[in-house]
């Protein structure tokens, strides 16, 4: 087990109706004026924004609203939020939405406390301890941003999508009501489940030997997500299944499932380029195409680890040929994502044989900027590896 530091400062308030407690909990923590940040439509249409506003009002917490966060959130709206926070003297940022809204809120919370343009943090990766405290009302279990230390922001002008990690931007409060996820379209439910499952895969496959306490936690989450996924898709209003998926999404990415390991994160790096190339691509859908392709590309590095995963998560019986078992595990992963309704090829995402050259020409230089010459840990990938993986996923 490698040495590690782990911090999880988030207070979770979980269950039916918890959004009604937002005002009181924020007032308890001394919030006076919050930036209420939200997405395109869903939270307004469902009346959630009105309910949250009423709760803030009842608790005497002032609020400034900024909506319109798009999936794959963009830096321009972040800059607008930063200016608004500075002008209004905001002391908390409250995100109501999914990973995109939360990530935008995290970037704003950083930017509101620094002098330089907030994009600088994404390029320099410099540490920043001055961050406004963040609260979250989660509406889609997926990215795990409700407790994670990361934010991922797109910069359309530069054609980039880049992450920034900072322990100080982990949310302080997360309100999680599974009923708020009943309205999710099946595609978003499935993409979210795929993303959380991939957060476990990124942690399970690296260059470190077994860490049983971490690995068994990870495997048990994989089995849980796999078992609950068909239940939420079959009945979107199954509270118990939605609750299990929602809590799992947090556990998959707050960090415990990878402590003591290096972790890999190559596939996330590859996917972020895809959704920067075409901002209409949903993160989870991109991962569904790329993760099995990555597994096939790297399997020879440590086939026993992939075969072990196949046995533990999918119940695959060993055949005596460990490489064949590793490849079966990759294919089983693809079938799992397909069973949720996710695409399995980039062609289905609009990047077929005719488009892949153009996509690669654009993605490889920004991938190199984001990840360096070599990246990943299960197998150190070069830009040539990256290109092969993209092409094999077409």
Contacting residues toward ligand NZQ, per CB under 6 A: 39-43, 71-72, 97-101, 103, 139-140, 142-145, 148, 150-152, 180-181, 183-184, 188, 192, 195, 253, 268, 283
Q: Which two tokens stand for residue 339?
A: 């069973």
Query: Could you tell me the smallest distance in angstroms from the CB atom of residue 38 to ligand NZQ?
Result: 7
Of 113, 139, 141, 133, which Cα lies nearest the Cα of 173?
Answer: 133
β-strands 160-165, 11-14 pairing: unpaired
Distance CA 253, CA 247 (A): 11
Q: Which residue lies nearer to ligand NZQ by CB, 195 or 325? A: 195
| Distance of closest approach, residue 149 Cβ to ligand NZQ, in angstroms | 7
User: Are the beta carbons of 394 and 351 closer than 8 angstroms?
Assistant: yes
Binding at 264: pick from Zn ion, ligand NZQ, none (beta carbon under 5-8 Å per type): none
Closest separation in Å from C-beta 171 to ligand NZQ: 10
Q: How far is the CB of 212 from ligand NZQ (least distance, A)?
A: 25
What is the distance between the alpha carbons of residues 182 and 141, in angstroms, rounded to a whole number? Answer: 11
- Closer residue to ligand NZQ, CB minimum distance, 206 or 325: 206
Q: State in angstroms the smallest separation of the CB of 266 from ligand NZQ.
A: 13
Instruction: For 74, list phi and psi in degrees, rounded to 5.
Output: -115, 150
Residue 31 has which token pair? Answer: 């919030």
Residue number with CB closer to ligand NZQ (68 or 365)? 68
Tell me how far apart the alpha carbons of residues 200 and 33 are, in angstroms, rounded to a whole number.
Answer: 37
State the alpha helices, DSSP H only, in 38-170.
42-45, 48-58, 75-88, 99-111, 119-124
Nearer CB in complex with Zn ion: 195/264: 195
Residue number, 73 or 292, with CB nearest to ligand NZQ: 73
Please choose which of ligand NZQ, Zn ion, none residue 180 contacts, taking the beta carbon within 5 to 8 angstroms, the exact cut-off set by kind. ligand NZQ
Q: Which of Zn ion, ligand NZQ, none sits in contact with 347, Cβ below 5 to 8 A by type?
A: none
When binding is defined by CB under 5 A, the residue of 195, 206, 215, 325 that contacts Zn ion is 195
Burial status of residue 48 (CB atoms within 10 A of its CB: 0-12, 13-18, 19 or more):
buried
Checking DSSP bridges between strand 160-165 and strand 150-155, what pairing results, if any?
antiparallel
Cβ atoms of 238 and 231 closer than 8 Å:
yes
Q: How far is the CB of 251 from Zn ion (least distance, A)?
A: 14
In the bound state with ligand NZQ, the residue whose beta carbon lies nearer, of 203 and 308, is 203
Shortest distance, CB of residue 146 to ligand NZQ, whole angstroms?
Answer: 9
Backbone angles phi, psi at 137, to 5 degrees: -110, 110
Q: Which is nearer to ligand NZQ, 150 or 328 (CB)?
A: 150
- Segment interacting with Zn ion (CB under 5 A) among 11-19, 195-203, 309-317, 385-393: 195-203
Quote the DSSP letter at residue 10: P
CA distance 151 to 146: 10
Residue 64 CB, shortest distance to ligand NZQ, in Å, is 19
Range in contact with Zn ion (rule: CB under 5 A) among 194-202, 310-318, 344-352, 354-362: 194-202
For 335-373, give one letter per residue: b (16+ CB within 10 A) or e. Answer: ebbeebebbeebbebebeeebbeebbeebbebbbebbee
Comparing CB distances to ligand NZQ, the nearer of 193 and 389 is 193
Residues 264-323 that bind Zn ion (CB under 5 A): none
Tokens (6 digits) for 84? 């608004």
**Stretch of 38-46, 189-197, 205-213, 219-227 contacting Zn ion, by CB under 5 A:** 189-197
The two most distant CA atoms of the chain are separated, in Å, by 66
Question: From the list Zn ion, ligand NZQ, none, which binds 254 (C-beta under 5 to 8 Å, kind-based)?
Answer: none
Does 263 sit near Zn ion (CB under 5 A)? no
Which of 143, 47, 61 is closest to 94 using CA atoms? Answer: 61
177 or 328: CB nearest ligand NZQ: 177
Residues of the shown chain interacting with Zn ion in the complex, contacts defined by CB under 5 A: 195
């Amino acid at each position: 087990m490698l040495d590690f530091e782990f911090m999880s400062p988030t207070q979770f308030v979980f269950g039916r109706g918890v959004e009604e407690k937002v005002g009181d909990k924020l007032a308890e923590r001394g919030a006076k004026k919050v930036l209420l940040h939200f997405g395109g439509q869903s939270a307004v249409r469902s009346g959630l924004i009105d309910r949250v506003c009423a709760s803030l009002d009842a608790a005497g917490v002032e609020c400034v609203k900024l909506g319109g966060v798009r999936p794959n959130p963009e830096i321009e709206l972040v800059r607008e939020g930063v200016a608004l926070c500075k002008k209004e003297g905001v002391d908390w940022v409250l995100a109501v939405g999914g990973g995109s809204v939360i990530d935008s809120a995290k970037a704003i919370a950083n930017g509101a406390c620094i002098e330089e343009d907030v994009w600088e943090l994404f390029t320099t990766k410099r540490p920043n301890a001055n961050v406004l405290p963040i609260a979250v009302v989660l509406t889609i279990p997926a990215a795990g941003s409700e407790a994670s230390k990361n934010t991922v922001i797109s910069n359309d002008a530069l054609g980039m999508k880049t992450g920034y990690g900072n322990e100080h931007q982990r949310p302080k409060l997360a309100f999680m009501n599974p009923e708020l996820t009943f309205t999710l379209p099946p595609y978003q439910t499935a993409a979210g489940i795929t993303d959380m499952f991939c957060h476990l895969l990124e942690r399970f496959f690296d260059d470190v030997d077994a860490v049983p306490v971490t690995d068994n936690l990870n495997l048990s989450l994989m089995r849980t997500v796999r078992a609950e996924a068909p239940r939420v898709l079959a009945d979107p209003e199954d509270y118990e299944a939605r609750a299990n998926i929602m809590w799992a999404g947090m556990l998959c990415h707050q960090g415990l499932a990878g402590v003591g390991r290096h972790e890999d994160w190559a596939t996330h790096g590859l996917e972020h380029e895809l959704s920067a190339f075409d901002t209409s691509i949903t993160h989870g859908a991109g991962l569904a195409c790329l993760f099995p392709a990555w597994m096939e590309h790297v399997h020879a590095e440590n086939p026993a680890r992939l075969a072990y995963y196949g046995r533990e998560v999918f119940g695959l019986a060993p055949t005596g040929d460990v490489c064949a078992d590793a490849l079966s595990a990759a294919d089983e992963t693809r079938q799992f994502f397909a069973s949720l309704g996710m695409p399995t090829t980039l062609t289905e995402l609009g990047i077929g044989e005719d488009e892949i050259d153009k996509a690669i020409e654009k993605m490889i230089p920004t991938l190199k900027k984001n990840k360096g010459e070599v990246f990943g840990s299960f197998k150190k990938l070069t830009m040539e590896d990256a290109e092969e993986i993209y092409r094999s996923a077409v």
